[in-house]
């Protein structure tokens, strides 16, 4: 019996040791594959959110990017693109793990930033330190190109308060509103969108008389909607994602829709949400402002919208447009350096110097803080031919994230926050 026991113990030990050695060998064998000479292809790491609660917008992003790639037969600037898609599911920690994988394992030459600001901030420090060029097409947190930028960050999307600045003026001077109540999602994005609007609206003599913050993912919007003051000229709202549909429905069902005009941040009327509205009248008449509208009538926009509709049977949301245009941006940048994407410094310089005169959304170039200067469109939701469309009613040309303020002065103020600017007329 003792004999037997020893044999078995040795066996176990030997087996485990053998297993360990084999595993180490296997890993060693993996190594040459992993560190293979830089492949001639141009590796783009795409951190997507194609599962989880933000999946719909994440899908639109991937659709837009892949549509551009397929139009170009996967060649950007003459380089064969190897697109590596990694799903982060909207979870910041996963986004960071995926970024590590794409940079350290796949050695991509370019990384696209994930969707959510929380994910973007999660990967921010790591990617800034590694120096891999990263292109922000959706994540719009102001500070990523203001107080917390990095040399290797390129933003071709927008910053959250960028459309709010012209829109605040528009609400005061064109729409002639004097008193407005705001209701926004209770997190950084909501603060920035509302903050930018409040700043310029009040500079033009308007008054924000109430600010309500509702948590992200509020199942029932009625406790917030019923608190809105009814003695205002308009309500400025920025719920996000599915909250938009619940908010819009509650806004109408509680009898506000017919009484008080509803305006708001861009996501209040994003094409991805207009398709899910319970009733068209929940959304018709909403006025918002953004650098994109599927109802834009320029030639470039029509061409893109028609092609996208033909391919995916839906109107392109801003998530889709911005990724399509991002593809165009990369294409141009790589072309300018004859495909030498391994020269990181030159690639970055080229990425920063791109100007697109003819993107679907209109002309784009970057400011010295790596954020785009682009048109902002005031859009009104209309119901036409059985679908809700954002129709452009006014265009602000070449808007910078600093609007008409001097950047140095602007950056002295804190980033827009829950209580900044303070609500002087609330009470």
User: 């917008």: which residue's tokens?
Assistant: 57
Site for another protein in 139-158 (CB under 8 A): 141
Which of residues 46, 68, 121, 167 is near another protein by CB under 8 A? 121
Which of residues 89, 131, 339, 407 is near another protein by CB under 8 A? 89
Verify binding: residue 173, another protein, rule CB under 8 A: no
Interface mask toward another protein for 182-221; x: CB under 8 A:
----xxx------------------------xxxxxxxx-
Distance CA 149, CA 371 (A): 10
Which of residues 135, 171, 244, 268 is near another protein by CB under 8 A? 244
Helix (H, G, I), strand (E, B) or coil at 83: strand
Instruction: Give the residue with the Cβ less far from another protein, 14 or 40.
Output: 14
Q: Is 346 exposed, middle or buried (0-12, 13-18, 19+ CB in 10 A)?
A: middle
Of the candidate spans 154-162, 166-174, 246-254, 327-335, the one that interacts with another protein by CB under 8 A turns out to be 246-254
Instruction: Give the residue with the Cβ less far from another protein, 222 or 413.
Output: 222
CA separation (Å) from 116 to 160, 203, 240, 307?
12, 30, 11, 27
Q: Do the beta carbons of residue 294 and residue 389 sit within 8 Å?
A: yes
Instruction: Give the residue with the Cβ less far from another protein, 151 or 276.
Output: 276
Verify binding: residue 306, another protein, rule CB under 8 A: no
Residues in the interface with another protein (CB under 8 A) total 81
Nearest residue to 110 (alpha-carbon basis) of 171, 159, 69:
69
Instruction: Give the residue with the Cβ less far from another protein, 220 or 409.
Output: 220
Which of residues 118, 173, 298, 395 is near another protein by CB under 8 A? 118
Helix (H, G, I), strand (E, B) or coil at 340: coil
Beta-strand runs (E) in 283-355: 287-290
Site for another protein in 340-379 (CB under 8 A): none
The answer for residues whose C-beta is within 8 angstroms of residue 216's C-beta and 6 or more apart is: 185, 186, 187, 240, 241, 243
User: 């600045």: which residue's tokens?
Assistant: 165
Of the candidate spans 54-62, 231-239, 341-349, 407-415, the one that interacts with another protein by CB under 8 A turns out to be 54-62
Instruction: Give the residue with the Cβ less far from another protein, 78 or 223.
Output: 223
Q: What is the DSSP letter of 417?
A: B
Site for another protein in 385-404 (CB under 8 A): none
CB of 148 to another protein, least distance (A): 10
CB of 30 to another protein, least distance (A): 7
Verify binding: residue 407, another protein, rule CB under 8 A: no
Nearest residue to 229 (alpha-carbon basis) of 284, 187, 183:
183
Verify binding: residue 104, another protein, rule CB under 8 A: yes
Of the candidate spans 69-77, 115-123, 170-178, 285-293, the one that interacts with another protein by CB under 8 A turns out to be 115-123
Distance CA 314, CA 274 (A): 11
Q: What is the DSSP letter of 310?
A: H
User: 């009104």: which residue's tokens?
Assistant: 380
Instruction: Give the residue with the Cβ less far from another protein, 21 or 345.
Output: 21
CB of 184 to another protein, least distance (A): 12
Give the DSSP per-residue string, 357-396. EEETTEEEEE-TTS-EEEEEEEEEEEEETTEEEEEEEEEE
Instruction: Report the run of H or E that residue 191 belongs to, with start and end.
Output: helix 188-203
Beta bridge partners of 417: 420
Of the candidate spans 52-60, 70-78, 356-364, 365-373, the one that interacts with another protein by CB under 8 A turns out to be 52-60
CB of 425 to another protein, least distance (A): 19
Verify binding: residue 124, another protein, rule CB under 8 A: yes
Which of residues 61, 69, 117, 388 is near another protein by CB under 8 A? 117
Verify binding: residue 92, another protein, rule CB under 8 A: yes
Sign of the four-CA dihedral 203, 205, 209, 215: negative
């Amino acid at each position: 019996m003792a004999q037997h026991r020893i044999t078995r113990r040795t066996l176990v030990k030997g087996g485990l040791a053998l297993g360990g050695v084999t595993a180490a060998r296997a890993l060693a064998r993996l190594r040459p594959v992993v560190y293979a000479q830089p492949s001639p292809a141009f590796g783009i790491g795409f951190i997507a959110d194609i599962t989880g609660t933000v999946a719909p917008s994440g899908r639109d992003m991937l659709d837009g990017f892949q549509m551009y790639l397929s139009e170009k037969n996967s060649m950007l600037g003459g380089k064969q693109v190897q697109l590596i898609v990694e799903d982060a599911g909207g979870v910041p920690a996963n986004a960071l793990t995926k970024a590590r994988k794409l940079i350290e394992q796949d050695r991509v030459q370019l990384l696209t930033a994930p969707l959510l600001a929380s994910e973007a901030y999660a990967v921010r420090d790591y990617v800034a330190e590694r120096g891999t060029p990263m292109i922000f097409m959706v994540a719009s947190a102001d500070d990523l190109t203001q107080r917390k930028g990095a040399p290797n960050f390129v933003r071709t999307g927008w910053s959250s308060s960028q459309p709010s600045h012209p829109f605040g003026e528009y609400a005061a001077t064109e729409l002639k509103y004097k008193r407005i109540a705001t209701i926004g999602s209770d997190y950084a994005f909501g603060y920035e969108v509302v903050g930018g609007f409040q700043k310029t609206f009040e500079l033009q003599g308007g008054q924000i008389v109430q600010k309500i913050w509702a948590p992200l993912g509020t199942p029932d919007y009625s406790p917030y909607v019923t608190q809105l003051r009814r003695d205002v000229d308009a309500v400025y709202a920025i719920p996000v994602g599915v909250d938009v549909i619940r908010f819009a429905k509650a806004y109408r069902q509680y009898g506000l829709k017919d009484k008080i005009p509803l305006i708001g941040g861009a996501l209040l009327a994003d094409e991805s949400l207009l398709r899910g509205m319970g009733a068209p009248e929940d959304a018709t008449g909403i006025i918002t402002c953004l650098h994109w509208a599927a109802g834009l009538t320029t030639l470039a926009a029509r061409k893109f919208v028609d092609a996208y509709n033909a391919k995916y049977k839906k109107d392109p949301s801003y998530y889709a447009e911005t990724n399509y245009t991002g593809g165009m941006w990369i294409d141009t940048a790589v072309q300018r350096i004859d495909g030498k994407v391994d020269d990181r410094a030159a690639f970055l310089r080229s990425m920063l110097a791109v100007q697109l005169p003819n993107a679907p959304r209109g002309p784009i170039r970057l400011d010295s803080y790596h954020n785009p200067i682009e048109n902002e469109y005031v859009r009104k939701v209309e119901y036409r031919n059985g679908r809700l469309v954002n129709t452009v009613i006014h265009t602000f040309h070449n808007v910078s994230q600093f609007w008409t303020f001097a950047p140095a002065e602007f950056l002295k103020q804190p980033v827009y926050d829950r209580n900044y600017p303070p609500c002087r007329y609330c009470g």
